[in-house]
Chain A
Amino acid sequence: MKKKPQGKLAKRQSIYAYMFILPAFVFLFVFLFMPMATAVIKSFYRYDGMKLNTFIGLDNYKDLFFNDPVFWKSMQNLLVYFIGLFVCLFCQIVVARFVEGIKRQKLQNLVRSVFVIPVVVPGIVILLMWKFIYYPEIGVISRIVSSWGMQSPNFLGNPTWVNIAIIFVGFPWIAGTNFLILYSAFQGVDRSIIESAEVSGASAVRIFFSIELPLILPQIKVLLIFGIIGLMQQYEKNLILTNGGPNNASVLPGLHMYQSAFKASPEMGYACAISVVLFIITMILSVITSKLKEDKDA
């Protein structure tokens, strides 16, 4: 297939080629690889970002696993968010199917746009809007509930509600990417299979569950694992909405890492140890993802 250039031409070409890829690798080395190495190294130190910098071996990891209730609480919360992920994904699948099923093309594009446009509104604006919606007394939900003569809970200040409230912020918004991927997955489903099922009298619901869902299962799998990887890294939302409160009820592993590094007496080394543990879990999940992707291509 490919001709191998020979002699002087080839030599000149490879010098240029290295020049062309050099900037990319310099950037990646300095700002991605070095930080990763730093994280691993500093996880063996007691380090506060300034003067204190002592080697303590595995103490950070021992503390993390055996001596840190907040870390275990955050892992427990991760499970709650994991269940939330399933619920959100199910809703996205249903909505994507409905949008794809709209017969008039122009209308379909319009509806699709409605679901996609909010994706570009800065995430922070969306989070602050939802903070306003959940605001006690003067917030939106509070107003609606009290107009029915009831008292609404303080969603972000109540340990039972706080995680549900935060999960709901992600629905059906920020997941506009998920929506698009599912939408195009449904578009890719072979029409003739569905038509022949319709002819033999299968109901729409039956077709959805026993033909369409299995056909888009690869995309669902990938989205699910991306979602889990995303959860491992999620803390921006919780940082802005509750900062892990009340009383660590909504803390997540990433947020715990952030808080360890930026509290009054910073424990940067400890934060690095948390990030290494999360990093390893995420790596394992990523490997599984790439395996699944290979299955899909085959």
Chain B
Amino acid sequence: MALPRWTIFLLLFLLCFVSKSVEEREEHEEQEEFSEELLLRPLPDRKVLAHFHFQSRVPPTETYGRHHHLFPKAIYQLVHKFRIREMELSFTQGRWSYERWGGYDPISSNNAKPPGVELWAAFDVPEHQVDASWKNLSHALSGLFCSSINFLESSTAYSAPDGGFRSSTGNMRYGTLPREAVCTENLTPWLKLLPCRDKAGLSALMDRPSIYRGYYHSQRLHLTSTEFDSTGLKTGIVLEQTLTVVLKPNAPGNNMGYSSGSILQPSWSLSSLFGKKVGGKCLLANSSSVYLQLEGALFSELNNIQKENERYNNDDLALKGSWSSPGFELSVSPDRMIKELNSLHEDGPSVLYEFLMENYSDSKLFELGFTWKFPVVWSCPRAPLHSSRFLMGSGNERGAIALSLISTKQSEAFQIADINGERCSLQVDVFQVVPWYVKVYYHTLQVFVDEQPQSVPDVIKKMHVSPSEDKVSPGVMEVVLNLPCGVKSAALTIEFDKGFLHIDEYPPDANQGFDIPSAVVSFPEFQASLNFLEDASSNRSPLLSKLKERSPVLSYTEILLVPLTTPDFSMPYNVITITCTVFALYFGSLLNVLRRRVGEEERLSKIKAAKKNGRLPLLLSKLSAKLRGRPWEPPQSSSSSSSSSSSSLISYKLLIKIVLVAGVAAGWQYYFG
């Protein structure tokens, strides 16, 4: 018995040593990281934006190996199998309202997505393999996310952007499915990629009914890998999963009328928004925090209110156990307040309140309540031009697509600030994909600036068109517009003919119409970034570094619904038979006219009149006479012998025919059977 005990000790010792050494090695080598964050932001139209941000990172395979304990294996395999350099997949329901929810911040630029599914991917494979990789990837994702992404496989559904979309490189493909319904069956596989799923941590807040009740929700998966880069900084694979929802607090705000006539914004709490509370962080997460963001305009508005209030009453409105600020009250006091550095917006810096989840647990649930004290009216920062797209014309034969860009009030300040040199201009990139059955006439492109028609080369700096090919590829139009700074409105119109499809190419609900995917309008001169004050801890927050990243202001336009003419779906047999009848009529009657010889017919009819017997019996009797070797004698009228002979002959001929047919059939069977 002594021996086993001894060995056990030894084993334990070894194990401890090994684990210690492993830990030591991981100390100075890179580790897999996972972080979860939630950003909450009150919106001007009495709604609340909740933005979940999960990020997993795995170090490069070369140094770390192939075994992971946090990073999802499915994604790792996907990246390696299809050699993906960058990929983004988003499922969206609802439309982001750029006027009310903002169009000039990182969240609207990166997380506001067109309805349905959008997928783009850049591959690290030779040019000729990109399409094959894309097709395989679409099938793999379709299986992974329980959706019909595999429809993007068809070459009519995806396109290869050429610099117009996210300054793309050569091996990029872009495809959208505007009509894809998004629901909980897409969210569940997405949650499966998280180490804690929705069992613990911030993802526990994702109560399906409350999320899908929202005005907008977009679940997104963004993947960057440096696995295949031969040079440069190797960061491994970064998987960024975000869920952006716009919710309306269902707690009724007290509709107390204030002196200004405006109504108090509804107060909300995490449990009233999501119906759940957070019980601490996901234990596998490196960092876990909740942020409350107040936009610059809101913050400065609140400061103004505070000044006014200080003038009138100095009462302390703060309740016990809560944290109070000039215009609102929080049920939990924030751990930290971060202010934006050198804001680009004239509204002033925006503010983040950080709550660390480490301080909460199942016994001490985190419940953030937000109560307004005064009615506040503010507006979100908006993109320099508000873009919208619509169809012109009526009828099902032709039409025109118009893209209108209307200056927002805020943009004027930027433009004045942007003046460089004599000619100040505002650059706008438009990327538009049009399905092949919308046959665009690119030579009809017209540009209007301030409602005045302009010559196209004056305004359009660069235009790249790859026209659609019938049943093969969609048309892609990438335009770089150079608008003058003080532009009030600009419009692009382009005419198209509506195509006519084969009966099988119509979807089941053909009369609903066909979708033209959203156009992407971006302003490369304007960078959306929120630069929050850095300190040692904020370096570790991927969400804040994401917000800090400079990315061009980008917005998606509406999806257009084009009704196409339908044929009569119940008619194929009728059409085929009627058309063939007409062709037969043509063929038969023309041949008949050509064959007819009036003179001969008259002669024949005379012969017929002379001899009452028909032509066939006459011929037959002639033939039979020849066969029998007797001289032919004209048959007597209704003679029994001739009729019998002819009948016997018919049977003889019939026999020959049958034998011939049987022979042919046997031969056929022999050779081809």
Do chains A and B stick together as partners?
A: no
Residues in A lying within 8 Å of B, measured CB to CB: none
Residues of B within 8 A of A (CB): none
